[in-house]
Structure 1
Amino acid sequence: MIRSTKEETILEQLNLCLQGNLNEEWGERTLEFNNAIGKGIVRSISFDWGVSLLDCTLNFNEDVKILFKTSTISPIEFVFVSKGSFKYKEDDTEEYIDLEQYQNIIIAPKRYSKKTFVFSPGREIKVNFIRIVRKEYLKKKNNNITYLNEILLSLFEDEGSSFPYKHKGNYSLKIADEVKALHNSYESGVIRTLSLEGRLYLILAMQLMEHHNFETGSTLPESLCKEDIKKIHRLSDFIVDRIASPISVRILSQESGLSPKKLQLGFQVLYSKSVNEYVRQLKLEISRDYLSNTDLSVSEIVYAVGIRSRSYFSKIFSEAYGVLPTEYRKQLKRSKS
């Protein structure tokens, strides 16, 4: 159980459980572990005005539950998961919620509450927490918090009536790109520190903007709401049902009601592929099933999955599976006999 809101103490208490190694360089503290529990890196760096970064790459070998329980008001946490997902709840009376990849998340627990994070085994998680100590941040000159919407303003002003607060907002690859750049900062010394701080404030500004748009019912072109995600999920069945027919971004856009740009964004968020890459993968998977479970000829399979020529089909099948379709079928027959 973690009983502190200070980054340096959090890492020390985490290390009691994770049994790794603590190091410090350029004002950053790093906890690295690789043992029976799993492997990962947790790094923290604190800046002026109560702003800090807790950045984690984790892969556990067993179910891991991390509890935070403090006697002080916890910082506001702006959370962004760039890989994987995990569960979170506040106190024992609440249900767990999923903190999902590419979704903008804000957590502001009430005083004396218990935060619980649950990580499943065999799943790499990359997540960063931008943490803001309210009273310290209010001392910052030109903090301009009065320009925030009513909800966030009350959180920053430390009004107890606003707690607890959880925001699960839109999905954004644009924020993901900035977080990736944060991870890939290779400078050293003062250049590294300034680079990290600048990138951190940019990500924070983007997360605040996403919250504003979410609350006002508008979304940016580079973000996706939950309903958009559901529409893209439903397209999977539509594509399978029409696998022999031409399938284009325009057709899928008309079917889903999403713009081509948002459609491409959604496929990248959900499947890490463009629309065309995803459709091609489905065609290959279905053709592989035909080769395994039917007596259809390769030419008939090419027609059944809507691929333009047998030679092109053989080329992309070989690129995907390392073997030509005819040889794949022969291997299956040999293994069965």
Structure 2
Amino acid sequence: MREIVITSTKEEAILEQLNLCLEGNLNEEWGERVLEFANGIGKGVIRNISFDWGVSLLDCTLNFNEDIKIVFKTNSISPVEFVFISKGSFKYKEEDTEEYVDLEQYQNIIIAPKRYSKKTFVFPPYQEIKVNFIRIVRKEYLKKKNNNVTYLNELLLSLFKEEEASFPYRHKGNYSLKIADEIKALQNSYDSGIIRTLSLEGRLYLVLAMQLMEHHDFETGSTLPESLCKEDIKKIHRLSDFIVDQIASPISVQILSEESGLSPKKLQLGFQVLYSKSVNEYVRQLKLEISRDYLGNTDLSVSEIVYAVGIKSRSYFSKIFSEAYGVLPTEYRKQLKGSKR
């Protein structure tokens, strides 16, 4: 495992130290610093832009060829970090005595380490990761006119005031595609100059506001319609087995809603979060995968397979099978038999 040690909390130094290890190119335009690398270590782009009042953004797209451990060892107070992973996952821990925790896709995460503590991120190989860090230097932000931090709940207020008893703090909250959509818009800003800077700053504050709102709802026990809690995710995982067991029967959103106890809206959100598919797309994919297995490992006729996976029309089955795999079911079986000779 390759280890990269960072000894500063300032973004400029962080990018320079990363660049020494990642052997990329570091450029600056419109006040935005961009580190790009593509070599034996992997490939990726790390963007940084700093705004007034101690607020900054690190936007990372990473794909490593080996396990990469990035360790922050500093002699200064770390900023509060609002983290959102829009693709992939990685691990995090503070100090050497802690267990690693998984930081997951679409989950709202807030990290506020103890003063001068070591924090470690471990990125897996051969997995594209897209992650945003909104970093706030609290002392600087408190100088901002109308910062309104007193309206935060007691826990977050104590973090912003750097009260020692509040540290370390780690929030692993609900899963939200609404935040993911705003992050995507943030990442896909193609403007230039002042328009780009203002657009990035505006969207950054919108994302930050949404992350603060999610934290408030999580702490008060209320969940927004467009977010999912850990228990919702578990229920949707369990539905996968239910769908396989009932694959020959009609499977609708309403049936799955009744089985799981989740609303249809939550179901659709959950399947998008876990599988990047709607409920119907996921069910259809399972039917096709099971039918493909039947074609290769049984002597059932195509008509019998169509019945076994709960598809009423053989012509429709042939159409969607061909769209998915580029070959008709009968031809697929012939190809398999030919390859086994």
What is the 5 A alignment of 1:219-258?
Answer: 219-258=223-262
Candidates 89, 95, 119, aligned match of 1:91:
95
What is the 5 A alignment of 1:38-53?
Answer: 38-53=42-57
The equivalent residue for 2:122 is 118
- Percentage of matched positions with identical amino acids: 88
Offset at residue 235 of structure 1 (A): 0.1
After the TM superposition, which segments of 4 or more aligned residues of structure 1 sit over 3 Å from their partners? Answer: none
The equivalent residue for 1:318 is 322
Matched, 1:70 2:45: no
The equivalent residue for 1:307 is 311
Candidates 68, 82, 88, aligned match of 2:86:
82
What is the 5 A alignment of 1:10-49?
Answer: 10-49=14-53
CA displacement, residues 52-106 of structure 1 (integer Å, 9 cap, x when unaligned): 0001000000010000011111000000000000000000000000000000000
Q: Number of residues paired by the alignment?
A: 337
The equivalent residue for 2:284 is 280
TM-score, normalization by structure 2: 0.99
Report the Cα distance in structure 2 between the residues aligned to 1:112 and 1:284, rounded to whole angstroms.
54
What SS is found at the alignment partner of 1:306?
coil
What SS is found at the alignment partner of 1:31?
strand
The equivalent residue for 1:3 is 7
What SS is found at the alignment partner of 1:219?
coil
Paired amino acid for 1:83? K
Candidates 148, 167, 172, aligned match of 2:171:
167
The equivalent residue for 2:339 is 335
Offset at residue 295 of structure 1 (A): 0.0
What SS is found at the alignment partner of 1:122?
coil
What SS is found at the alignment partner of 2:6?
coil
Report the Cα distance in structure 2 between the residues aligned to 1:33 and 1:47, rounded to whole angstroms.
25
Paired amino acid for 1:243? I
Paired amino acid for 1:47? F
The equivalent residue for 2:104 is 100
Paired amino acid for 1:293? N
The equivalent residue for 2:212 is 208
The equivalent residue for 2:222 is 218
What SS is found at the alignment partner of 1:187?
coil
What is the aligned-residue RMSD (CA, Å)?
0.4
TM-score, normalization by structure 1: 1.00
Structure 2 unaligned regions, length at least 5: none
